[in-house]
Structure 1
Amino acid sequence: MQDPRRGRRARAHGLEALGHHPELTRGTNRGKLITMDGMRVLPADLAALATGVQPATIRDWRRRGLIKPVGGTPRRPLYALADLHAAKQAPKPRRQLQTAA
């Protein structure tokens, strides 16, 4: 079951239906669309809200190489919205079956 507080937070930031409205961000950029070289970018916490996954999943996608930060700082990276949607659609990893020798 999804945490009911998460829905309120997403609505408070204006992130509706899998992040098609990433215009709102935290801090001084609140209410402004963040673009870098024509790409829409989001910090990790809002990237999780935009894609409908947990923040740990965003960190896992980065560790597995599905997404790479396009800016920000090491402590607060920014991710391209297009990369996030591609990672969500990517095939999930499967464990290899081990046969007894």
Structure 2
Amino acid sequence: MGEYWFKPKRHGYGATPTNWKGWLVTLAFSLALPLASLPFLLSLTDATRTVGLLAWAAVVLACVWAFTAFAKSKTEGTWEWRWNGKPYRSMFDEEK
């Protein structure tokens, strides 16, 4: 696979960046999405507001989905609910 940019979170669901590449792509996404959204949202008029907001929401959801899929592909391990580094479902398994 190559090098991983993210690792599974210790608590909760998802992943966290582990190197400069992971941090850079996360920062770029976190800045680019609102900066690209602002001019579009400010350009909406009363006549185009409803359709424009729906289009904006669809594009934002697609971007978040793409970033999440990318982060999952660059994560060492799987994304699942965790508590203290262990899969959450293992807390309910009876250990004998």
Structure-2-length-normalised TM-score: 0.27
Q: Which has the higher contact order (CA 8 A, sep 6+)?
A: 2
**Structure of higher CA gyration radius:** 2
TM-score scaled by length of structure 1: 0.26
Richer in helix (by share): 2
